[in-house]
Structure formats: structure tokens, C-alpha cells
């Protein structure tokens, strides 16, 4: 039952990933409520809507997953992980909440305060993780990709800080140039690169598929990062965007192909979520070179890609880790993975997720309430299931350390 290629000797405490995922799904619910609020009032706040999701839901999940994966997958052990996770989780959560709030309220001091939190959180943990990753000699392709993702995240945050200073009028900047770089580094350098690198490790392992081609696992993250750096010098050269787009379309197509060739052909919502995620990534990558003409379809399809993949990963990781940690504690009557989160609950969430995506078609006719409600229910189901998984762990390990 223990997947190959991971080192369980360095398994970090469950409370680390537990707290990041629990807060991330809470941000998902806040995002859902905010979407419904906006459709009821007819108001639309792009920046807070985007950042509740990208910072609150996505980034908290991704940093939590890295805390888990660095020691287990890369052998890069972070010392005192509980203390570090406590600081980073608290400060990033505060920043991710206050940034959209400050923007909605039009409060510059609040936006600046949130920026301080976010800068502190990011520049506390990103260099620590990078240092660990660079100190490991024989690194596999997956964790090698983590390095480029983290570097992109750091660059994306510096660009974000400049944007905020420009936004609040404290600095004269070339706004559209920096915005273009910020979103490219954050979406493709940080998010898509990290998802791809993680999948190089887990798709084959979790779903028993043929391996990815070496040429892709070895080069995707590196080439994407260098193309993004090139965009600093050549921001208008569309061919760079075209190559980034092609790279991720290739990755998406190959992932779908690998999943179709999996050994176990039983219907599995976690695999279908990956399919949905990859189709959305392919669509979003196709739009990327033309993003300013089709900004919303580009952003929304990218969001659907990340949401689908994160749902699949959470539904796999939480039951596995709950079971694993309880077994490690010697709890002999530990629930099986299917008892931690029942497959029926995951199927229900999958169908709601699909309905939410299909309902996006209504946006064309200006109907926003129904899609917003679907996404709210989607996030609520995810949160309830993840909380049930986490509370199962707490209930069984009451005498242990949480």
C-alpha cells in the first residue's frame, strides 16, 4: 500500500499538511461566498476574486504540499518543520485574507499591511526550501522542477510587490509590463510548473501508468523558467508565449495519454478530475498567447485546471496520510483510506464540480448566480470532506501529538 519512490522515514507531522489544506479549503468556501455575493449585487471585483483563489486556495495548498513532499520525495529535510509551518501558515493566511479585503474596502494601508505579511511569509520559506533542494546532490526530475517553481514564485512575488506599490501610487512603474510578467511567472512558472513536477512523481505511482518521457520530465520546468526570464527582455515577442503554450499543451496531452494507459481501468473520480484538469490546462494554454483579447476565458480555464487537480490530489493525499500516520502510531483499528473519505462523497463532489464547469456556459448570457452557487456548493463539499478526513485523524490519535 506504500507507493514506491517515497521515503517514509522523513514523514512530517500530519498537522502540517492538515492545517494548510484545512485553511485552503476554507478560502475556497470564502471565494464561493464572494462569487455569490458579487452575482447578487451585480458588482465585480477582479483582483480580490483572483487572489482569494490563487493565494488563499492555491498557494496555501501548494506550500503545504511542498512541506510534505520535500523530505519524503526529495530527501530534503526541513529542520523544526512544525515551527516553520506555524509561522508560514499563519502569516500567509493573514496576508491572503487581508489583501483581497483591503482591495474590496479600497484601503491602501490594509493592502500594504497584507503585502508585508505576504513578503515576510514567502521570503521566510522560499529560500529555506530552495536551500534544502540545492543541497541534495542526486535530485530526481520532479523535485528538480520544484526549484524552478519556487524561484518563479519568488520572482512573481517581487513583481507583485512592485505592482502593489504602483497600484497604491507609491511608485511610478510600467504597470502593464509588470502585470504581464507577474501573471506569467505565477501561472506558468509557479503553478503549472509545480503541478507538472508533482505529477511526474505521483501519476505513475498513484495510478500505475507508464512513465512520462524523460525529455519532458527533465526539461519542462527548466525551459519554462528560462523562457519566462526571457520575457523580461522581450515582453512583446509572442513566439515565447507560443513555446510556453506548446510545452504545457504537450504536457497535458501526454498526461491524458498516460492516464488512459493506466493498469487499473476501474472508474475513478480522481482520474476523471485529472482529465478535466488537463483539458482545461490545454484550453488555457491555447489562449495564453492571446490572453489580453480573451482574458476571462483564459483565467477561468486556468482556474478550473488548478481546482480540478488540487481536488484530486487532496482526495488522494488526505486519506493516505491519515491511514499512514495512524498506522505509524500503532493504532491497529485505523480506518482504511476508503473509510477516511468515502468514495461516494468524492463522486458527489466530482459531479457537482462538473456541473459547475458546465454552468459556466451561462456566463455568456450574463447569468452569474447559478454558476456562482454551483462553485460555492463545490467548495463546500470539498471542505466538508477534507474536514471529515482531518477529524478522523484527530479522533483516532487523541492521545498522540497533533
244 is a site residue for ligand HEM (CB under 6 A): no
Contact predicate 235/177, CB 8 Å: yes
Site for ligand HEM in 345-364 (CB under 6 A): none
DSSP state of 172: -
Nearer to ligand HEM, 179 or 384 (CB): 179
CB 401 to ligand HEM: min, Å: 31
Q: Which has the closest alpha carbon to 244: 216, 223, 262? A: 223
CA 390, 76, 63, 360 dihedral sign is negative
Our finding on whether 34 is near ligand HEM (CB under 6 A) is no
Distance (Å, whole) CA 97 – CA 391: 24
The rounded distance, in Å, linking the Cα atoms of 285 and 279 is 10
The stretch near ligand HEM (CB under 6 A) out of 17-25, 55-63, 64-72, 356-364 is: 55-63
Instruction: Report the residue from 24, 30, 58, 126 that binds ligand HEM according to the rule CB under 6 A.
Output: 58
Taking the least distance from each CB to ligand HEM, the nearer of 187 and 216 is: 187
Say if CB 351 and CB 326 are below 8 A apart. Answer: no
CB 47, min distance to ligand HEM, A: 4
State yes or no: residue 92 binds ligand HEM (CB under 6 A). Answer: no
Contacting ligand HEM within 293-332 (CB under 6 A): 299
Q: Which residues contact 198 (CB under 8 A, 6 or more apart)?
A: 65, 69, 142, 313
Question: Within 93-152, which residues bind ligand HEM (CB under 6 A)?
Answer: 99, 115, 118
d(Cα 323, Cα 329) in Å, to the nearest integer?
10
Nearer to ligand HEM, 74 or 160 (CB): 160
Q: Which member of 15, 23, 38, 59 binds ligand HEM (CB under 6 A)?
A: 59
Q: Cβ distance 262 to 280 under 8 Å?
A: no
Q: How far is the CB of 81 from ligand HEM (least distance, A)?
A: 22
Tell me how far apart the alpha carbons of residues 375 and 354 are, in angstroms, rounded to a whole number. 10
**Least separation, in Å, of the C-beta of 41 and ligand HEM?**
19
Helix axes 14-41, 60-69, angle to 10 degrees: 170
Q: Which stretch binds ligand HEM (CB under 6 A): 46-54, 75-83, 226-234, 331-339?
A: 46-54
Rule CB under 6 A: is residue 201 a binding residue for ligand HEM?
no
Angle between helices 238-260 and 214-233 (to 10 degrees): 160
Angle between helices 238-260 and 193-207 (to 10 degrees): 10
Near ligand HEM by CB under 6 A: residue from 190, 206, 272, 396: 190
Q: How far is the CB of 85 from ligand HEM (least distance, A)?
A: 19
Contact 309, 192 (CB under 8 A): no
**Where does 79-200 show beta strands of DSSP type E?**
none
3-state secondary structure of 279: helix
Q: Given candidates 35, 60, 150, 164, which one binds ligand HEM under the rule CB under 6 A?
A: 164
Q: Which is nearer to ligand HEM, 50 or 136 (CB)?
A: 50
Cα of 165 vs its chain's centroid, Å = 26
Pairwise CA distance, residues 32 & 378, whole Å: 8
Q: State the nearest-atom distance from the C-beta of 190 to ligand HEM, in Å.
A: 6
Q: Minimum distance from CB of 59 to ligand HEM (Å)?
A: 5
User: Buried (b) or exposed (e) across 250-282, using 16+ Cβ within 10 A?
Assistant: ebbebbbebbeebeeeeebbbbbbbbbbbbbbb
Output the smallest distance, CB 192 to ligand HEM, in A.
9
Q: Which of 19, 89, 132, 182 binds ligand HEM (CB under 6 A)?
A: 182
* 46, 170, 171, 327: which one binds ligand HEM (CB under 6 A): 46
Segment interacting with ligand HEM (CB under 6 A) among 29-37, 66-74, 184-192, 205-213: 184-192
Judged by the rule CB under 6 A, the positions of this chain that interact with ligand HEM are: 46-47, 50-51, 54-55, 58-59, 99, 115, 118, 157, 160, 163-164, 167, 179, 182-183, 186-187, 190-191, 299
Amino acid at each position: 500500500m506504500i507507493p514506491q519512490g517515497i521515503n517514509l522515514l522523513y514523514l512530517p507531522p500530519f498537522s502540517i499538511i492538515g492545517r494548510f489544506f484545512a485553511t485552503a479549503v476554507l478560502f475556497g468556501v470564502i471565494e464561493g461566498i464572494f462569487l455569490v455575493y458579487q452575482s447578487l449585487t451585480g458588482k465585480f471585483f477582479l483582483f480580490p476574486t483572483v487572489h482569494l483563489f490563487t493565494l488563499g486556495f492555491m498557494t496555501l495548498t501548494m506550500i503545504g504540499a511542498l512541506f510534505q513532499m520535500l523530505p519524503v520525495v526529495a530527501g530534503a529535510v526541513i529542520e523544526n518543520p512544525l515551527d516553520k509551518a506555524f509561522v508560514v501558515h499563519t502569516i500567509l493566511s493573514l496576508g491572503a485574507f487581508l489583501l483581497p479585503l483591503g482591495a474590496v474596502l479600497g484601503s491602501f494601508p490594509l493592502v500594504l499591511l497584507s503585502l508585508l505579511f505576504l513578503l515576510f511569509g514567502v521570503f521566510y520559506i522560499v529560500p529555506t526550501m530552495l536551500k534544502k533542494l540545492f543541497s541534495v546532490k542526486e535530485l530526481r526530475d520532479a523535485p528538480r522542477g520544484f526549484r524552478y517553481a519556487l524561484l518563479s514564485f519568488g520572482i512573481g512575488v517581487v513583481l507583485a510587490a512592485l505592482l502593489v506599490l504602483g497600484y497604491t501610487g507609491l511608485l511610478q512603474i510600467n504597470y502593464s509590463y509588470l502585470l504581464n510578467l507577474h501573471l506569467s511567472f505565477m501561472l506558468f512558472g509557479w503553478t503549472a510548473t509545480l503541478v507538472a513536477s508533482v505529477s511526474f512523481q505521483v501519476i505513475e505511482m498513484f495510478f500505475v501508468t507508464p512513465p512520462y518521457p524523460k525529455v519532458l520530465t527533465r526539461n519542462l520546468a527548466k525551459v519554462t523558467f528560462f523562457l519566462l526570464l526571457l520575457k523580461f527582455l522581450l515582453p512583446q515577442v509572442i513566439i515565447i508565449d507560443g513555446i510556453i503554450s506548446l510545452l504545457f499543451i504537450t504536457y497535458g496531452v501526454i498526461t491524458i495519454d498516460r492516464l488512459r494507459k493506466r493498469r487499473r481501468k476501474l472508474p475513478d473520480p480522481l482520474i476523471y478530475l485529472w482529465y478535466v484538469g488537463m483539458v482545461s490546462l490545454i484550453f488555457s494554454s491555447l489562449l495564453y498567447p492571446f490572453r489580453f483579447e480573451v482574458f476571462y476565458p483564459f483565467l477561468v480555464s486556468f482556474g478550473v485546471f488548478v481546482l480540478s487537480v488540487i481536488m484530486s490530489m487532496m482526495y488522494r493525499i488526505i486519506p493516505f496520510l491519515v491511514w499512514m500516520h495512524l498506522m505509524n502510531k500503532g493504532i491497529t483499528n485505523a480506518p482504511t483510506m476508503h473509510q477516511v473519505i468515502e468514495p461516494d462523497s468524492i463522486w458527489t463532489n466530482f459531479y457537482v464540480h462538473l456541473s459547475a464547469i458546465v454552468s459556466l456556459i451561462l456566463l455568456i448570457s450574463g447569468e452569474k448566480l447559478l454558476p456562482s452557487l454551483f462553485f460555492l456548493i463545490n467548495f463546500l463539499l470539498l471542505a466538508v470532506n477534507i474536514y471529515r478526513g482531518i477529524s478522523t485523524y484527530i479522533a483516532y490519535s487523541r492521545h498522540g501529538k497533533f
